[in-house]
Amino acid sequence: MEELESKKSTTRFFVELLEIVLIAFALSWVLRTYVVEARKIPTGSMLPTIQLQDRVIVDKFFFKEIGHLTRGDIVVFKPPASAHATEDFIKRIIGLPGDKIEIRNHTTYVNDKPLYEPYILEKSKNDYGPIVVPQDSVFVMGDNRNNSDDSRVWGTLPIKNITGRTLFRYWPLDHFGALAR
């Protein structure tokens, strides 16, 4: 009788353990797919704000629910087909729908006003535009302006391509915190 109870107890333990593992896996999949995701930065296009191999947390839910993107947000997105890329990109929003964007004499202008950009590595070497950002799109650029494949190369980014907005850097620990805006 004790042996039968012991087998039942062992079986119950493994069934409960399997349930816990499956629930944990399902929750982590849902969270990562729809709510928040950790990302490792593979390129230097966002230097000096984000370093190579830094890790950031990306909000994939609340920015969609609030529907509020602002100039200066750093977003993760699926690049448009004209970018000829398969991996997600991370860039800073410079222009919102309806904005006029122009780069001249090494300065970025939004609606004919110079954009204050303390976060860039160096000013753009080349002139660009002017263009007006379509209503369903944004204009994005990397902070490393002269080493970034961005809207200046492949055009404006459809808002529907944005998968998330960065919340903060969590690695390396000595750089933990919000990213420069």
Q: Annotated catalytic sites, by residue?
A: 45, 91
The SS3 assignment for 136 reads coil
Token representation of residue 156: 């404006």
Task: Report the alpha-carbon distance of residue 95 to residue 21 in Å, rounded.
Answer: 44
Q: Where are the alpha helices (DSSP H) in the chain?
A: 2-30, 62-66, 151-154
Under 8 Å between Cβ of 69 and 159:
yes
